[in-house]
Chains A and B, each alone.
Chain A
Amino acid sequence: MRSLKQTKTTKNKTYDERAAVNRIRQRLAPAVVLFAGAVFMLAGIYRGEMDVVLRKAINLCLECIGIG
């Protein structure tokens, strides 16, 4: 009887631990992706991609309008 109780507790703990790890992962995943996004954006700005976007956006996009 005692050993059965112990096994149950151990199982529960394992389940709780797994749930805790999942929770941490779920909270961590967006933060990691957000951080990666920020790094990528900085790399793009450093390469001059922002200027390409600006140049395209401040000139009339004939393709967007449907005449280019």
Chain B
Amino acid sequence: MDRGLTGVSARIRHWVQIGFTAVTNGYAKGFAEGSIYTGSSKAFCVPGLNCYSCPGALGSCPIGALQAVIATRNFSFSWYMTGFFLAVGALLGRFVCGWLCPFGLVQDLLYKIPLGEKILKVRGDRFLRLLKYGILLLFVLLLPMFVLDLAGQGEPWFCKWICPSGTLMAGWPLVMLNEGIRQAVGFLFAWKSMILIVLIVLSIVVYRPFCRYLCPLGAIYGMFNPISMVRYRVDRKKCTSCGDCQKACRMNICVSENPNSAECIRCGACLSACRTNALLKMSFPAPPKSLAKE
């Protein structure tokens, strides 16, 4: 039985996702005119994968910003962005993916469409999950850092060749709204649109395929899951190993064995599913009292 996140908790999560997406993409003028926001708030990054060329974006995308800094002549390492990932990772880990990422919200909504049979485990799942680390290493770090033009400037390889969030939030709206941009589209736009369309179709039957297999931001935040302030603990005295938490987990994680898996997006479905309250969420500023007694 795939229960997912039940009732009120699921609704709260979706409203948080919608609210956060609306607030961080609240520049309505950009959507009306087919332009982007140019204010100073864009020096700061939002935690989720949110393209800074989205007409409504008020902040920067952390993956785009990282590539922008390391691709310049002056910097080969970004202290600013490394610090950002450390800080957000320590505070929230992949809670960002489950609650604050606009592209995660899109995939969540697509999965709700009652079309086809939902696939919980994809063939080659374990190997495919490693892809995101390869993408992080190659497309986000190495290629922008080492493949330079004559002026010594690199390119944001992930944004250019893969990022479906950029295509959805910036590419498609701007091509629709801006005549000049519409005339400039070519092979690259078609390639990126194809990636996005494949992911949209996949998201209807597979829960969050981009987050599972491709997202470099999820790969970074996932490394912080075991030490993040938002993390899960299993109370072994209460756990009956019934497996309800794993059945409820759409990311297909064995929660009772590995509650802080790098794949966990902290959606909370396992917490709702646990009948004995053996799963506990630890969050800032202090863990629950029952844990302190453990």
Contact B69 A53 (CB under 8 A): yes
Contact B167 A66 (CB under 8 A): yes
18 CB contacts below 8 A, A to B, read A30-B227, A33-B227, A37-B86, A37-B87, A37-B88, A37-B90, A41-B83, A44-B82, A48-B74, A49-B80, A51-B43, A54-B60, A56-B60, A57-B52, A57-B59, A57-B64, A63-B155, A63-B159
User: Which interface class (under 10, 10 to 19, 20 to 34, 35 or more) fits B?
Assistant: 35 or more
Q: Mark A28-60, 1 if CB is under 8 A from B, else 0.
A: 011101101111111111011111111011101
Interface of B is mostly: helix
B46-75 interface (Cβ within 8 A of A): 51-53, 57, 59-60, 64-65, 68-69, 72, 74-75
Contact A56 B52 (CB under 8 A): yes
Interface of A is mostly: helix
Q: Which residue of A lies closest to B291 (CB)?
A: A23
A52 and B79 contact, Cβ closer than 8 Å, known pairs A38-B87, A63-B159: no
- Number of A residues contacting the other chain (C-beta, 8 Å)? 38
In the bound assembly, the distance between CA atoms of A40 and B52 in angstroms comes to 23
Apart from A57-B43, A64-B163, 18 more pairs, CB < 8 Å: A31-B90, A33-B90, A37-B85, A40-B86, A41-B84, A43-B83, A44-B80, A49-B75, A53-B45, A56-B64, A56-B68, A61-B156, A63-B156, A64-B171, A65-B174, A65-B181, A66-B185, A66-B191
